[in-house]
Amino acid sequence: MKPVYVTEYARSAFTRAHPSKPGVDAFEGTRADSLLAQLIDHTLERAPYDGADVEELAIGCALPVNDQWNFGGRYPVFLSGLADSCASRTIEQQCGSGLAAIRSAALSVASGAADIVMAGGYENMTRVPMGPALFEAGTLTVPDLPADAYDARVVMNMGLTAEALAEKGAISRAAMDAFACASHQKASAAEDDGFFDGERISLQTADGDAVAKDACIRPDTDPERLASLRSVFKEDGVISAGNSSPLTSGAAVMTLMSEEAVKRTGATPRARILACVDRGTKPELMGQGVVPACEKALALAGLGVDDIDAWEINEAFSAVPLYAAKALGIDEDRINRRGGALALGHPLGATGIRLAGTLMRILEAEGGRYGCATACIGGGQGIALVLERVAA
């Protein structure tokens, strides 16, 4: 298999989504495919190649319905500077969709099927909300699950799976709130020192307004304030709005290249993809899926937990990275050093691209060699990606 290199990465600002309150989400009037197309064009304007050189576009989207349905990935191709010859596909793997798009793109390059491929992801959670609305409309349906095998009430409610994970891992409400508070503090510090300016691109709304800043970071968050929030999913539970990721809209894109394409175009290789693996787990404990995925990805890369300099573990809920840290023996100081989804937000299909892109930039900033980005997946899965920084 050929080596696969990451050369470019960019994302939109992440906005706070709210399906029932107009005016909250700056992207509420803007289709998600438009956001991705703008990011693609921004990349092409600055890259040492043009749209005709990009052979494939893989798009991650957790809910590819309504105006997030994209005709097999064609709409972002039509809306951007990519050529008609660019093949496209949409990948739906819930919160793992963005990482799954990277995996699809990487496999094309590694196999020799393509030399320059883009992986993108998007979600507008105001325009296409997750949860009951799509089921009530009949857009999404649920089969009759075997009652003797699965608790459907828990399987279909991510908050209840987080409650179950916290119970299994003996993770306290105080520990989860403290982790959430630290996420906001780290993200706020990264914002103040300009770290996110190196990846976040100002995009235009349908009304022509520019959106340049992440909307969910709360620098004044403290443990006392978080402790005052009621549990959301279960009476006397431990999962609150404060230790759960907020509904978010946004998009992200990454370019992957073969060694031959890097040499031909003069692009700068920034990281090499060593492994990308997904694994299934018990759906009622979907948050634990990151553990077997990381274990397999590290084994494929020939690495151990202690070899990883930086981890990006998606903060769908505080319980997920806390459980993974316990199960894998990860030093929490190496996890989400610039904050995570609790503070930045979690636009489902875009999150995996952000995890990998931010991880790459952290390795660059800190001189680390190896990094692992991972996310749990609704329905009982996990996905993990291992990167190696390419030294300048």
The Cα-based distances of 247 to 183, 316, 338 in angstroms read 16, 10, 19
Q: Which two tokens stand for residue 359?
A: 């991880």
Amino acid at 314: N
Catalytic residue among 95, 181, 276, 294, which? 95
What is the Cα–Cα distance from 157 to 154, expressed in whole angstroms?
Answer: 5
> Which one is catalytic: 86, 181, 346, 372?
346
Looking at the chain, the number of H-run helices and the number of E-run strands are: 13, 13
Helix or strand or coil: residue 311?
Answer: strand
Give one word for 298, left, alpha or beta, with left for phi > 0 and alpha for psi -120 to 50: alpha
- Residues whose CB is less than 8 angstroms from the CB of residue 232 and which lie 6 or more positions away in sequence, other chains included: 159, 239, 240, 241, 244
Please tell me the distance from the alpha carbon of residue 259 to that of residue 263, in angstroms, as a whole number: 6
Residue 372 appears among annotated catalytic residues: no
Half-sphere exposure of residue 253, counting CA atoms within 13 Å on the CB side? 25
**H or E, element range at 110:** helix 97-111
| Structure-block tokens of residue 109 | 């390059």
Q: Is position 18 annotated as part of the catalytic site? A: no
Known active-site residue 95: yes
Name residues whose C-beta falls within 8 Å of residue 94's C-beta, 6 or more positions apart in sequence. 62, 348, 377, 378, 379, 381
Cβ neighbours of residue 145 under 8 Å, at least 6 residues apart?
152, 155
2: tokens are 């050929």
Q: For residue 277, what are the β-bridge partners?
A: 384
C-alpha–C-alpha distance, residues 187 and 15, integer Å: 15
Q: Rounded to whole angstroms, how far apart are CA atoms 301 and 355?
A: 18
DSSP string, 135-185: HHTTSS------TTT--HHHHT-HHHHHHHHHHHTT--HHHHHHHHHHHHH
- What positions carry a catalytic annotation? 95, 346, 376
